Amino acid sequence: MTRTEQIAIGLGDLIGAEVRITGMASVGAQRATFFIDILDGTSTTPAVAQVSASVLGSVPASAEAAMLRLAEQVGVPVPDVIAASDDLPGVGAPALVVSRIEGRTVPRQILRGLTDDAAGESLARQCGEALARLHTIGEAQAPASLPRLSHTAYVDDLEAKLDALDDVRPAVRAGLAWLRANPIPEAPITLVHADFRNGNMIVDDNGLAAVLDWELAQVTDPMQDLAWMCLRTWRFGNDANPVGGFGSVAALRSGYEAAGGSWRADAIHWWSVARCAWWAIGLAGQAAAFTSGLTDAIMLAASGRRVPELEYDLLRLIADGPAD
Amino acid sequence: MIDRPDATVLLEAMAATLTDTVMPELSGGAQHQARIVANLCRIVARDLADDATDTTAALTALLGAEGSLDDLAAVLDHRLAAGELLDEALPLLLADAARRAEIAKPGYTDDTN
């Protein structure tokens, strides 16, 4: 039996119905996303199943399901949770089954699908609103299994990841030194998605239809989410529109503040530097997996040559200072 | 002695063949991989034309030490980790990152953040 067949059977056992895998949505390093049909008597329900590569190093699916439910309660658009298992029968990996929401997910298709500038501004505003609602979930309500990270702890974590790389990256090291030398005041920590950007959302003709991929979620300074959303790396060449290549920072901010969020420009700048460093380290780590022989995927080798973009962005952010 | 075509010309021809001839015959994941390989060929061609002498010279001046680019980068990395030289190093690090970003993606440093 192939792994895909095992997954179909495991998902069927979990849900208590026959499951047919109808396609692959994406295959990442950490997990694969399948389109599935759930056949229950006469009805067929289209759904999406995310199956991690292994139990190790994965966010428990039960924690991710709890987060999706929390997010839904505060008005963040998310798929409905159908089933979750931290150890899918016969597969031995976390699996999450959610409802299928129609719309565009590929970044360049999202950009092409926006009819005019107003549609992009509206989407940026909706992203701000969604994040403000998410950030109403405080430390006490956030799942206990998620890491709690102060600014200092975040930089310590980055430094540990950088030290673990078999690669000398003084530009990233300078970024970490800058983060330590330019601390911002600690603020109340909240649930933070940490990977909400163009590429992890579903967009339809009404704009933001769902926020996807909650596997990096953590409990920390909410300004991290706003910084990540605005990084140049997620603009797909559309630098005139800092928010995901589709909207203005003013639109993101207006949505965030209209939904009750409090915008801190200095903290967003600090987190922009921190997340550039994080992604530079992440890409260098993908390249290291290739260099060490762990994988022969050419895409991961190519990641190594994207590191300079992030290093340049990081150093420009430091040189230019906060936007306002 | 150098055989012709030289490495740069060959890499550019390889990229052009992949883009113009191979990719149109492919679809899906294979086409995507061919695009990545064509792009890597162009990156390597630009990389071959760059010897990083400016960065090495700037590091030598900043650190007051001699050595290979790798050695000097490791020294700077240690000094930065110790909380030293940040302000002094930022200009050369930015210039070096810009140089490497232009190799990876020409035009990248034309735009602002």
Q: What is the DSSP string of B63-81?
A: HT----HHHHHHHHHHHHH
Average pLDDT value for residue range A36-44: 92
Record: contact A169-B77, CB cut-off 8 A: yes
What is the average pLDDT score of chain B?
Answer: 94
Q: What is the CATH number of the domain that holds A71?
A: 3.30.200.20
In a domain, B2, yes or no: no
Q: Which of A281, A303, A315, A320 to mutate to test the interface with B (most CBs of B within 10 A)?
A: A315
Number of structural domains, chain B?
2
Give pLDDT, residue A42: 87
Same domain? A79 vs A185: no
Average pLDDT value for residue range A78-85: 96
Give pLDDT, residue B113: 44
- The structure tokens 């700037």 sit at B58
| Triad A317, A322, A323: Cα angle to 5° | 100
Using pLDDT thresholds of 50, 70 and 90, give the confidence band for residue A54: low
Same domain? A90 vs A151: no
| Triad B10, A286, B71: Cα angle to 5° | 75
Residue pair A179/A281 in contact by the 8 Å Cβ criterion: no
Identify the domain containing residue B18 by its residue range: 7-48
Summarised one tens digit per residue, pLDDT across range A104-156 is 999 999 999 999 999 999 999 999 999 999 999 999 999 998 999 999 999 99
Is A306's pLDDT higher than 60? yes
Give pLDDT, residue B112: 53
Nearest CA in chain A to B43: A305
Q: Which of B32, B93, B111 to mutate to test the interface with A (most CBs of A within 10 A)?
A: B93
What is the average pLDDT score of chain A?
Answer: 94
| pTM attached to this predicted model | 0.94
Same domain? A90 vs A135: no
Identify the domain containing residue A181 by its residue range: 107-320
Cβ of residue A102 closer than 8 Å to a chain B Cβ: no
Alpha-carbon distance A157 to nearest alpha carbon in chain B (angstroms): 14
Considering only CB atoms, which chain A residues are within 8 Å of B103? 305, 308
Residue A221 DSSP SS3 = coil
Q: What ipTM was estimated for this complex?
A: 0.95
Q: What is the CATH number of the domain that holds A124?
A: 3.90.1200.10
SS3 content of chain B, % helix, strand, coil (to 5): 75, 0, 25
Is B82's pLDDT higher than 80? yes
Average pLDDT value for residue range B15-40: 96
Cα-to-chain-centroid distance, residue B11: 15
Same domain? A302 vs A238: yes
- C-alpha dist (Å) from residue A12 to A20, A63, B30: 8, 21, 32
Number of structural domains, chain A?
2
Same domain? A94 vs A111: no
Summarised one tens digit per residue, pLDDT across range A235-270 is 999 999 999 999 999 999 999 999 999 999 999 999
Average pLDDT value for residue range B63-83: 96
